[in-house]
Amino acid sequence: NLARIKEASVALKPLTIFIGKNNTNKSYVAHVFYALLDLVSVRWRHVESEIIEKEYIKETVEQLKPFLEKTEEKQDGEVFYDVFSPKKDEKCLTQLLQVFKKLWTKIFPLYIKNPTLKKVVVEMENLSLSNFLKQYEKIPQPKFVVRHEMSINKVPSEILFDFFFNTIFLLPLIYFNFRFPPKVFYFPASRTGFALALEDIISGIVRRLSGMSGTKLTEPTIDFLKAYNDIKLERFKLDRYFLTPKPKKISADLQGIINFFEKKLLNGKVILKKPSKSVETYSRFVYKPYRFRSLLEFHCVSSLVTELAPLYSFLNELRDVKNTLFIIEEPESHLHPSAQLEIVKFLSMLVRSKAKVLITTHSDHILNFVNVLIRSSQLEDKDRKKLKLEKCFLNPEEVGCYLFKEKGKDVEVKELEVSNNGVTTESFEEVLDEIIGLSSKIHKLLYKEFIKK
């Protein structure tokens, strides 16, 4: 259960699109993906080397295979996970625990360097996947009772939880060859407001963390604001997102994406202006347009610039986008339809560079141009090159689209078919039919008035 969604199954494709009316919980599902993947990406760095030794992986995966192979697989290595399903929740956990009880008797004693361990009993209390999804920052820790041969001793809860987490979340990732990206960046709606009032919002977050009243924001939004503020203060730590040392040079693919972003969307650059010694006390983002040399403050530029500035700033902090997930709410916000076409090209360039993208959108222009790029995948390379689409086409199997639709008091999440011609656009067609119907009625009434005269 998540808000009005009782059950949903969503596959994370290279490009995943959520469409539907307002207040149909699209953002909630995006938050779930962020919560799970961010948690895994952060904790993965802390996995002890002995946990992921080859022999351990081999033995554990063999034990997990009967459970893992029940997961439905599709082409291109995409895996379906039941994001929320109360009926399957208890069954899945029970199956996993049956496997883990055997594993812990053999492996856990080695992990805590205590070969006298005879038995591990795991109590099911508080071990709920649905609770985990609702408040992922406060993970309910299961109760462990560890019995040694001669006496009962307590093992630190951190060790127990690390072992539990690594087994439940990380080994399936190993089994599926890291098909979930270890790096995830979330870009909320209302980016213009955040860009213009960053300092005030950050101060509100600080007050909240210190126990004072402050702005109530979701955890993904707070993470975004903290990271964006760190970029502004030049203390953004990219190492948090890498399992290996940070690459020193920017990749050719990412440099091409940044160049495209500057030329086709910003028509300039967003730069960090250092404070002047006499007046200013902190650095701030400013806009440098191509057409003249002046630097423009954010309150003097178009909303297109302030809307795209956070995304552009993050791109400039990266070295590569491969194996990265970008979750972007309403990428069309404040953009003219012509700019929306360019933003779709940008998203498809991320996909071609082996990144993953998840967007929520209300724009028929976005979806229609996604369909154009899907159809372009049927062309030969030379023909795509003529159309300047060689770096921004989309294969049908790379796109997943989900319609969030009200069904009584609940919201149903329906996967839409993606063919060589693109995605069906039934959500927007309903609105178009309504417009055409209303236009027809107006035309008839005007015609009657004309006849009377």
Contacts of 13 (CB under 8 A, 6+ apart): 76, 78, 356, 397, 398, 399, 400
Question: Which one is predicted more confidently, 319 or 182?
Answer: 319
pLDDT tens, 24-45? 888 888 888 887 777 666 554 4
- Asked whether residue 423 carries a pLDDT value surpassing 80, the answer given is yes
pLDDT of residue 234: 75
Whether the Cβ atoms of residue 174 and residue 57 lie closer than 8 Å to each other: yes
Query: What is the DSSP pairing of strand 422-423 with strand 418-419?
Result: antiparallel
- The type of residue at 431 is V
Question: What is residue 253's predicted lDDT score, i.e. its pLDDT?
Answer: 93
- For residue 354, CA distances in Å to 4, 295, 392 come to 33, 34, 12
Question: For the whole prediction, is pTM greater than 0.85?
Answer: no
CA distance 432 to 24: 20
Contact status, residue 252 vs residue 261, Cβ threshold 8 Å: no
pLDDT digits (tens, 9 = 90+) for 289-311: 998 888 898 888 898 999 999 99
**Measured in whole angstroms, how far is the alpha carbon of residue 415 from the centre of its chain?**
18
pLDDT digits (tens, 9 = 90+) for 232-282: 777 676 655 544 445 568 899 999 999 999 999 999 999 988 877 666 667
